């Protein structure tokens, strides 16, 4: 067994590196949102649409793999997907520089390309880690997802300092820098052996018929609401700190978005070492995220709102990887198709929540209601719109809390029936 572990050591590190570098796809655009608004006069709705395009593209990739995974050479796909990330980030940076009058179109094209790579990463990296022989597969899965969080922290801190020192107008060079890093993961995959990945679940080894469908559907719902809770905040925390709380961008990114990511990563590492009772962890995460969103939207205190935004990272940390752990624990033996479905549910949530917040922010900001309320509260219409967006976004973790309670009850009944 030890020899097998050693054979796949570089493969595991390649997966970790790829997941780490993939964080630039998710965390760099939110850091640049207000820069795009200032330089290219892009509305909040269109900024939210960039997030929507990102995750809808991933969703399409997820659905393709959930139906046609057996038609792909999965090993080759894993090896080339970091290079697709690089291509997308290069387009993201180059087109606005070459065609400034069509900057938004360039951002859309770049987003589509690197989102294809992100979708492939979500579909294939988790089952690759799960397929590598390990004494503690839950630890490896949680560690994989923790590296995404630490990647977000790294991207946010370095990007914030770069923009502070060299100026917002040089965001293109920053993006090109992040485009180089996925090449490292590609090289590591090229020299690493790949484990065998099953394309479809073995029904004979998992729950059959209706029970199997119900279990997967519950997991799908949990990862959808969990992704909504995590990505709604992670995509808007930078803009919220600056526009709604009047915190300097550099300080807000480091205290807000970077600390959000640090808590996300620390909690995942902690679970990988000491964690158990994943259903209880999911419930606490959903309930805590609900409180954080409501606090951020309702409080007049900038410190309390900042704390609520940051603590959302702690509470949402295990909602996505925790659902995958729950699926493996309750329904072992599922293949790439099941992971593709889970990625689809997560990406759908990550598409809906940030876009909804952008729409609500624009609509409320432009309304007479915001104008009258701004006079009473001493806030700008934009600040009221952002707070309204936070409150609307709270519906996702609230519904997620209810679903997790139902899921706990369902799997308890299943356990009693089997025993």
CATH code of the domain containing 291: 1.20.1250.20
What pLDDT sits at residue 199? 52
Express each pLDDT in 364-408 by its tens digit.
Answer: 999 988 888 888 888 889 889 999 999 999 999 999 999 999 999
| pLDDT tens digits, one per residue of 150-196 | 888 888 889 989 998 999 889 999 999 999 989 999 999 999 898 87
pLDDT tens digits for range 58-108:
888 888 877 776 777 888 888 999 999 999 999 998 877 787 888 899 999
Query: What DSSP letter does each residue of 155-218 carry, written as one string?
Result: HHHHHHHHHHHH-GGGHHHHHHHHHHTHHHHHHHHHTS------SS--GGGS--HHHHHHHHHH
> Number of folded domains in the chain?
1
Q: What is the pLDDT of residue 286?
A: 98
Domain encompassing residue 238: 2-192+200-418
Mean pLDDT computed over every residue of the chain: 86
**pLDDT (tens digit per residue) in 2-48:** 444 447 888 999 999 999 988 888 788 888 888 888 888 888 788 87
Residue 3: what pLDDT?
A: 42
SS3 content of the chain, % helix, strand, coil (to 5): 85, 0, 15
Whether the pLDDT of residue 126 is over 90: the answer is no
Entry pTM: 0.76
Does residue 292 carry a pLDDT above 50?
yes
At residue 282, does pLDDT exceed 90? yes
- What is the DSSP-derived secondary structure letter of residue 394? T
Show the beta-strand stretches assigned E in 302-418. Answer: none
Confidence grade of residue 207 (pLDDT, cut at 50, 70, 90): very low
Contact 53, 112 (CB under 8 A): yes
**Residue that is written with structure tokens 């004979």 in the block:** 204
**Where does the pLDDT of residue 209 fall: very low under 50, low under 70, confident under 90, or very high at 90 and above?**
low
């Amino acid at each position: 067994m030890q020899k097998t572990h050693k054979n796949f050591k570089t493969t595991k590190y390649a997966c970790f590196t790829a997941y780490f570098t993939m964080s630039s796809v998710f965390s760099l655009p939110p850091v640049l949102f207000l820069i795009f608004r200032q330089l290219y006069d892009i509305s909040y709705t269109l900024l939210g649409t960039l997030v929507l395009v990102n995750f809808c593209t991933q969703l399409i990739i997820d659905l393709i793999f959930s139906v046609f995974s057996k038609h792909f050479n999965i090993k080759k796909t894993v090896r080339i997907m970091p290079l697709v990330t690089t291509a997308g980030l290069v387009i993201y940076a180059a087109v606005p520089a070459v065609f400034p009058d069509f900057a938004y179109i360039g951002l859309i094209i770049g987003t589509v390309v690197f989102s294809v790579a992100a979708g492939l990463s979500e579909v294939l990296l988790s089952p690759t880690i799960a397929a590598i022989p390990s004494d503690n597969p839950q630890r490896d899965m949680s560690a994989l997802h923790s590296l995404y969080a630490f990647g977000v922290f790294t991207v946010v801190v370095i990007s914030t300092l770069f923009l502070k020192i060299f100026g917002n107008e040089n965001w293109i060079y920053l993006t090109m820098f992040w485009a180089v890093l996925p090449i490292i993961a590609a090289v590591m995959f090229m020299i690493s052996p790949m484990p065998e990945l099953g394309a479809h679940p073995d029904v004979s080894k998992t729950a059959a018929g209706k029970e199997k469908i119900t279990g997967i559907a519950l997991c799908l719902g949990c990862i959808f609401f969990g992704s909504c809770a995590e990505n709604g905040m992670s995509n808007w925390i930078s803009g919220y700190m600056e526009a709604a709380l009047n915190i300097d961008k550099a300080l807000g990114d480091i205290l807000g978005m970077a600390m959000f990511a640090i808590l996300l990563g620390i909690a995942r590492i902690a679970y990988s070492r000491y964690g158990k009772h994943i259903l209880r962890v999911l419930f606490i995460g959903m309930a805590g995220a609900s409180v954080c969103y409501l606090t951020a939207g309702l409080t007049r205190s900038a410190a309390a709102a900042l704390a609520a935004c940051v603590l959302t990272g702690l509470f949402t940390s295990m909602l996505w990887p925790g659902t995958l752990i729950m699926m493996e624990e309750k329904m072992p033996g599922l293949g790439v198709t099941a992971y593709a479905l889970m990625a689809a549910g997560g990406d759908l949530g990550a598409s809906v929540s940030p876009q909804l917040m952008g729409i609500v922010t624009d609509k409320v900001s432009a309304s007479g209601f915001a104008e009258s309320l701004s006079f009473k509260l001493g806030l700008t219409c934009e600040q009221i719109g952002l707070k309204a967006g936070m409150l609307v976004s709270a519906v996702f973790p609230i519904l997620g809390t209810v679903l997790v309670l139902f899921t706990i009850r369902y799997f308890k009944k299943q356990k009693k029936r089997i025993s």
